[in-house]
Amino acid sequence: MLEERETASNLIAEVRQLESLIAQVRETLESQRELLRRRRLAMPPAVFDSLEQLMGDFKRLEEDVVAEQTELRQLRALADMSTRITNSLDIDTVLQETMELVIVLTNAERGYIILTDDETGELEFRISSESGLMGRGLAASDRPQISMSVVNDVITSAEPLLADNAYQDERLASSESIINFTLRSVLCVPLRYKAETIGVVYVDNRLVASIFTERELTLMMAFANTAAVAIANARMYTRAEHILAEITRVKELMDNIFSSVGSGIIAIDRNDLVHTFNRAASEILNVMPEVAVGYEVEQVMKNADLELRDHLALVKEQDADHTLELSADLPGRGEVALALSFSPLKDSNDLTQGVTLVMDDVTHLYEHETTINAMKRILPEGMVDKINEIANIEMGGLRREVSCIFADVRPWVTLSDLAPSEKLRTLNQYQAVATACIHECDGIIDKYMGNEVMALFNTQLNPAQNHARQALECALLMRDRFVELYGTMGVAPEPHYYIIGINTGEATLGNVGSFQRREFTALGNSINLAKRVQENAAQGTITIAQATLEHIHSHNKGRLDYVLNQREPIFGKGLSSGVQAYEVYRKA
């Protein structure tokens, strides 16, 4: 390439040297002609004509050589641009650099790459020779002073436009931008990709007319063709990146969901290999995910001392759901009760590709069944007759407004100095007092949780219109009875031991478990909030949520027979905003 440049330079130099020699010969002949004229002789006029013709030939030769060298330089630059554009996906940076080179090669004053937005179809200036990379969202008021009518015409027609003197071009006579901006030379070519115009390349010169020729038009068309492919590739790459990012986000979301659900989830493919093994499955079976995922399910179940081969085969053979309850002696856990649900794992074409196994540890249901049987002996009179009604409530449950009490009757920290047997005896004394208060106020005990008790008011078993006040009166009664108990036990705690929280709202009430073993309970955000209120309450206080206070107001004609101390809002898991709460005391 360097040799070619040197050869071309030498050729131009030689041509110019010959032109100089011709000029010298002409000067010499001119002087000789004057001398001959004095001697009354004449020089043939054809000599000067031949010299003029020869000089013109050499001038044209020089122009041709220069033009060829310019075209060769442009083509080489275009080839270099094509390589750089097609080898990079950072399209804005590459196009900016190549646009600057185009400006140099075409002698343009300014240059722009304008693209149509994929979604809105609006024009956006992506590359400018004046201010560098502009980016998306450039306001129309900030756009450069160029002829948008030319741009729109080229996009519409998909044909290039070359104006030697745009200011006087009849085709552009109606363009106000041409007149207002006094544009001279304008060249605009479409960016075409698969028969679609995705934008334009625009260059102009506001000072010099006729600066662009067919050569510059050809150069710009070649550049536009390469740039259009590069832009389309970059857009596809960007879309692919966005899709990959979305897939990654969804996968992470699904992983988080599988990880956070309480049920164990195991996904098994058609080759009986475990593909999904969430945190709950690991905890239930006492098997780490790293020795489960990617291994045969039979080996994983063997490690957990479970035999499920026949059940998995049954689901695949019948292509139908299958449920199972069993007891198993799991390594590291001992005797547990499991509820298993097998389902065919289907793809988007509804073809079975494996099996999904969902397992729940229902050991606590068996244990709680014993507690329920014991509680039947101490339920208040009149509620025993409703035991059959509890058993007959549908498994799906019913929505109902209830008031819920969570009471920590004696925090564990206050029992730290007692022996285990003494702790249990003392705790039973406090639970007995709380139980008696709940029964006396027609509440129903949902469950005992060690040192805590959960009670419900206005269930199907103990309907009450003024249930929020009923729950609060129950809590105040507990306070009075605990004070009596302190006197009996010879203690005077300050603050008092109890921590009581109350909330009112809709919950789902019904049976959970199986048709053979079930328990009556309440579920829902209102129940969770009651627990949050109790967890955030101070020791020795009764704290109610705003909903409980509003219910008491609405059912007591606005009359309030209590002293309320407003406290800081309660924040916690599952709460998008703080919940107002109040500490409640009896009026003196």
How would you label 468-488 residue by residue, b for 16+ Cβ within 10 Å and e otherwise? bbbbbbbbbbbbebbeebeee
Local confidence band at 457 (pLDDT 50, 70, 90 cut-offs):
very high
Write the single-letter amino acid at 294.
G
- Summarised one tens digit per residue, pLDDT across range 381-440 is 455 455 555 555 555 568 889 999 999 999 888 888 888 888 888 899 999 999 999 999
Question: 148-152, 369-373, 526-530, 575-579: which range is least confident on average?
Answer: 369-373
Q: What is the SS3 assignment for 388?
A: helix
CATH class of 90-239: alpha beta
Question: 60-64, 529-533, 549-553: which range is least confident on average?
Answer: 60-64
Tokens standing for 487? 């006197």
**Nearest CA to 546 among 497, 504, 496?**
504
Question: 73-87, 135-149, 203-217, 370-384: which range is least confident on average?
Answer: 370-384
CB burial of residue 1 (10 Å; 0-12, 13-18, 19+): exposed
Q: With 0.95 as the threshold, say if the pTM is over it.
A: no
Local confidence band at 134 (pLDDT 50, 70, 90 cut-offs):
very low
Q: What is the SS3 assignment for 116?
A: strand
Distance CA 74, CA 70 (A): 6
Query: Is 586 in contact with 562 (CB distance < 8 Å)?
Result: yes
Distance CA 97, CA 90 (A): 11
CATH pick for 261-361 out of 2.40.50.100, 3.30.70.890, 1.20.1110.10, 3.30.450.20: 3.30.450.20
Mean local confidence (pLDDT), 469-488:
94
Mean local confidence (pLDDT), 287-302:
86
**Strand 444-449 relative to strand 398-408, pairing:** unpaired
- Summarised one tens digit per residue, pLDDT across range 150-194 is 888 888 888 988 876 544 455 554 555 554 555 678 888 998 888
Distance CA 268, CA 77 (A): 58
H or E segment to which residue 253 belongs? helix 214-260
CATH superfamily placement of domain 378-586: Nucleotide cyclase, GGDEF domain (3.30.70.1230)
Cα 444 from chain centroid (whole Å): 45
Q: What is the SS3 assignment for 268?
A: strand
- Summarised one tens digit per residue, pLDDT across range 25-64 is 677 777 777 776 776 666 676 766 676 777 776 676 666 6
Q: In the prediction, which pLDDT does 136 show?
A: 42
How would you label 260-295 residue by residue, b for 16+ Cβ within 10 Å and e otherwise? eeeebbbbbeeebbbbbbbebbbebbebeeeebeeb
Mean local confidence (pLDDT), 109-115:
85
Instruction: List the beta bridge partners of residue 508.
Output: 399, 523
